[in-house]
A and B are shown apart, each in its own frame.
Chain A
Amino acid sequence: MNVSVLKDKLDRIRAEIGRALIGQDELIEHTLIAVLARGHVLLEGAPGLGKTLLVRTLGRVLGCETKRIQFTPDLMPSDVTGGNVFNQQRGAFEFLRGPVFTQLLLADEINRAPAKTQSSLLEAMQERSVTIDGTTRPLPEPFFVIATQNPIESQGTYPLPEAQLDRFLFKLDVRAPNVAVEKAILASHLSGFDASALDRMHLNRVTTPEELVAMQTEIRGVRVDDSLLEYIADIVWRTRSHRSLYFGASPRASIALLAGAQARAVSAGRDFVIPDDVKALAPAAIRHRVGLQPDAEIEGVSADDCVAEILREVRVPATIAA
């Protein structure tokens, strides 16, 4: 594994995305890590913070086929997966592929569709295939879903079921920019940047889908020390007994954390994982996989608070502290 080559490529990807999306370095970093770890990402944040722009830019820079589904309350599962349609000329049913048959799927405002439609993505996200009328059709490689949603409190939204949430590698909070970044955005706008016309940006394609798949494969070879496996397991295990959590994270969270840590290590130019990788990604990997107790929720305790508390309790491997 040539880590420096991978890191170089990732740096270039970051730089290209950064041209379009200003001041969201951490968001870009975590999204890239998720892509490298073959994971799906749920972006949550208020409208207008660049969620959709990030995905569109990512598709261009990674050279992946990108499709977008705008989730609405009347969206049907077949609108996502496609379905068999009777061809009168041929006198037979033909499969009409839905937008899910792509490499990078942007599920925009996923929580605006009811659970039935949301669930149509379950198999696609986990198995990377779609089964319709008894026929299973594989999805192209690479395949990853980047869904966006507005905060649950907004009107006209349907909270994602736990099973659906669990399939996202990371849930990333998109935060509003600070004043300096906002000023930079305005300056960019003045200089002619138009988020709806990315073609004019002439973004460079840094990788091909094949290269991306190869990178994903290489990531799996990153060394993980036994002590770190224990560290990850301990963190996730503690979510199951935390007093503010109704239910804890599943083993899928552990796997997500591990895969994410491997990708982060490569992103930092290392071929081995360190505790910092795990700690940095734990909130993103766990926050959407746990359920808060009602009273904790009333008192304003968030999942991030619980994860932070757990991270403070778990002993980091090889620490010199007593």
Chain B
Amino acid sequence: MTAPVARFALLLALAIPARTAVAESEAPATTPATPAAPEIPPRKDVGPLVKQVFETGFEFCTNPGYPLTRDELKWCDLLSKSDARCPQLAKACTRGATAELVGQQSHKQTTTISMPTAQLPVRMLLWIVLGVVVAFLIYTIAKQTLGQRAPDREEAVEVVTEAPEDPALAAARIVETDVQRLLERARAAAAQGDYEGGISDAYAALLRKLEGAGVVTVESHRTNGDHVRDVARQNPALRPRMQAVVGNVEEVQFGGGAPTDSRFRSVMLDVMGLLSERLAAWIPFVVKVGLGLTLTGLVSGCKVDREGWERSPTGRAAIIDLLERSGFTPRERLVSLTKVDKATSALVLLPGAKVDDASWKAIANWTGDGGCLVIAGGTRTLPAWIGATPSTGSMSQLTGGGLTVAPDQSKRLPKLHAVVPEGRFVKIAAPETSGTGGVTGSEPVNEAGDEEDAPATPIVVRDKSPYIVERTFEGGGRAIVIADDRLFENASLLVEDNAVLLVEVLRPGGKKVELAGELTGLVSQNPITSVQRGKLAPAMLQLALLILIFFVYKGAHFGRPVDPAAASRRAFSEHARALGLLYGRARAGRHALEAYGGFALDRLRERLNLSGGKGLLAVAEEVATRVGRPLGDVMRVLVESRPTKRSNDPVRDRAEQEVNSPKDLATLRDLATLLQQTGGAGERIRSQRQT
């Protein structure tokens, strides 16, 4: 059977009841294929490997005052009093349980992130502060964004073709802003006899420092005098020293003063003195940072885990290290168990791992394909096809009893003696055939469709009670049930042959061991879910607040710095045009024409030297003569521009005005043309410009 066909068969088996699937699997004429055997790590001497593991420096092995939890203390009775691999653990044990572990194990507390208990006004104040900060952030970003206007059209079309810049010039244009580098440069310049450069760099270092402290603003239009005044404003006591530096610098720059060694030393001395000052501007910064940190503490109210749980006696760092050294490739499984596949040869289900029905189905299929499932304790209900389940309680009479290899398992495991605390054991279920359905109604299905799997067999026992039980399937898969997860704790490796037992139990499962714990299945599809699952929202918020405070303090830009947008002023003609537009929209062409008509008639009379007594005809004749247009045409324009009689019906008047508005505007233009042609000021200016 080819791989795709086999996969299809597996999917089909999942989609229909198990019995039906088995029945159908008997009939087809597909060619069965043996699953590929997993790569087995070579057998090694585990003792030296454990020693190497603990040589990496576990704190509980080196610190006699290491705080142990009550749970970890259970290992103490089983440990050797003088173990060279972990010399200080015995001393730590004598101190008793001095810590409480919160963390990943099911029998340990869960990490919680919660708001501190506070009165309503305090909480409201916090939210208000948070809201103001967020609003300020949004405002600042919006302001910066809007401030970066697109260039004007004229600027956009302007094509500037420049010759390639000389690299030396370009390098010279790069402005050094780092205080220490500037000081070093100053010293180097002075050492080479370039005292002018040295003085200039020393002064630049001072300005950059002051700029960083928020005392001065270094901009191309600001003079040294501006800087001195800034310093005096912030810290009047520093003014004389700043003035002294500036005086020396300016004497060299503008006064023709010789840049001598003594002058450089004087400047450098003053600069260093000022640099070492605690500038007043740091105070607001410290206040801001303090506020930020206070907010951080208030908002988070996090409980702090004991550091380095993985490297604690009940952690798993040493286990993973040992497995690596033993030829395994162990890793924590983060991806959901529903996606378990042949890339994993052995899967260890620790108590914290959450396994739902879909996961069990996937695990069943994977086991049927030859996977090795290891169930290390836990209180979950297991599917029937596993054939065994860890006990939920312990047999007190078994406490402290050693673990030995079951008599009929001498081929499976070497002779050993292991010890773990507590007296948990494994219950073996009554033998049942495959396909009876377990918790999920699914079971391992090998590709041959063989139902006859061996029953669960104890391989390690404590007295006569099974501690580790194994069930193998025809497809090469196996399910190993361990009574608890104590073998997967760091401290376990220091006890008797526990390390050998662990390695040997896992070895037939193959190299690629995955440990499924609390984190399994928590891989997020997007960053937001990650933050949500990681309960990092408060931390992220605090980080954002700190960054905001930092940027506000530094005055950093939210984008590429650009010159402030020049306030554009509208030309007078634009105002006139806007006004005309308003008249146009209001259909008030008649009103505009009448107003302009009165003005135009007065100007025409004035220009043509006609007194007010002369009638409209006389004006029209003069205008027609001057501009060379037909008298009737001119007369029509003048007559139409005169005020019309209003009726007593304002609604009708309004309607007429609206209808005639375009015509009135045309007349207005005619009148303006007449005015221009008779020699208005605008006409004179235009003709002057033309000449």
Residues of A near any B CB (own CB < 8 A): 223, 225, 227-228, 243-244, 270-276, 279-280, 294-296, 299, 311-322
Contact = CB atoms under 8 A, between A and B. Distances in A.
B685 interface: no
Nearest to A299: B569
Nearest to A271: B255
Nearest to A309: B566
A295 B204 contact: no
Contacts of A318: 200, 253-254
B566 to A, nearest CB: 8
Contact of A320 (B204, B226, B251): B204
A231 to B, nearest CB: 10
Interface string B223-239: 11110000000000000
Interface of B: 173, 175, 200, 203-204, 207-208, 218-226, 250-251, 253-256, 569-572
A20 B649 CA distance: 75
A322 B220 contact: yes
Contacts of A321: 175, 218-220, 222
Given A299-B569, A321-B175, A316 B220 contact: yes
A274 B247 CA distance: 10
A256 B208 CA distance: 34
A276 B226 CA distance: 8
24 contacts: A223-B256, A225-B253, A225-B256, A270-B255, A272-B250, A272-B255, A274-B224, A274-B254, A275-B223, A275-B224, A275-B225, A276-B225, A295-B571, A313-B221, A314-B221, A316-B222, A317-B254, A318-B200, A318-B254, A319-B221, A319-B222, A320-B204, A321-B222, A322-B173
A223 B253 CA distance: 12
A318 B255 CA distance: 13
Contacts of A225: 253-256
Contact of A223 (B208, B219, B255): B255
B572 A294 contact: yes
A296 B569 CA distance: 8
B447 to A, nearest CB: 72
B248 to A, nearest CB: 12
Contacts of B226: 276
B218 A320 contact: yes
B572 A315 contact: no
A28 B175 CA distance: 40
B274 to A, nearest CB: 16
B474 to A, nearest CB: 77
A295 B573 CA distance: 10
Contact of B256 (A272, A312, A314, A320): A272
A225 B251 CA distance: 11
A318 B249 CA distance: 10
Given A299-B569, A320-B203, A315 B221 contact: yes
A28 to B, nearest CB: 19
Contacts of B204: 320
Contacts of B203: 320
Given A274-B250, A279-B225, A295-B569, A319 B255 contact: no
Contacts of B219: 319, 321
Contact of B223 (A223, A296, A316): A316
A274 B223 contact: yes
Nearest to A310: B221
A228 B225 CA distance: 15
Contacts of A274: 223-225, 250, 254-255
Nearest to B222: A316
Contacts of B175: 320-322
Given A274-B254, A295-B572, 11 more contacts: A274-B250, A275-B223, A275-B225, A275-B254, A276-B225, A295-B569, A312-B221, A317-B254, A320-B204, A321-B175, A322-B220
Nearest to A227: B254
B614 to A, nearest CB: 35
A320 B253 CA distance: 12
A243 B571 CA distance: 11
B255 to A, nearest CB: 3
A203 B115 CA distance: 74
B572 A320 contact: no
Contacts of A227: 254
A314 B200 CA distance: 21
A273 B254 CA distance: 7
A293 to B, nearest CB: 9
Nearest to A275: B223
A317 B255 CA distance: 13
B220 A319 contact: yes
Report which residue of A274, A314, A317 has the largest number of chain B beta carbons within 10 angstroms of its beta carbon. Answer: A274
A279 to B, nearest CB: 5
Contacts of B255: 223, 225, 270-272, 274
Given A223-B255, A270-B255, A321-B218, A280 B225 contact: yes
A322 B174 CA distance: 8
Contacts of A317: 253-254
Contacts of B254: 223, 225, 227-228, 272-275, 317-318
Contacts of A314: 221
Contacts of B223: 274-276, 279, 316, 319
Nearest to B257: A272
B207 A320 contact: yes
Nearest to B206: A320
A280 to B, nearest CB: 7
Contacts of A223: 254-256
Contacts of A273: 254
A237 to B, nearest CB: 16
Nearest to B250: A274
A227 B255 CA distance: 12
B572 A316 contact: no
A275 B220 CA distance: 12
A42 B250 CA distance: 32
Contacts of A272: 250-251, 254-256
7 shortest A-B CB distances, which residue pairs?
A: A276-B225, A272-B255, A321-B220, A322-B175, A276-B223, A320-B204, A225-B254
B560 to A, nearest CB: 13
B219 to A, nearest CB: 5
Nearest to B563: A313
Nearest to A319: B220
Nearest to B574: A295
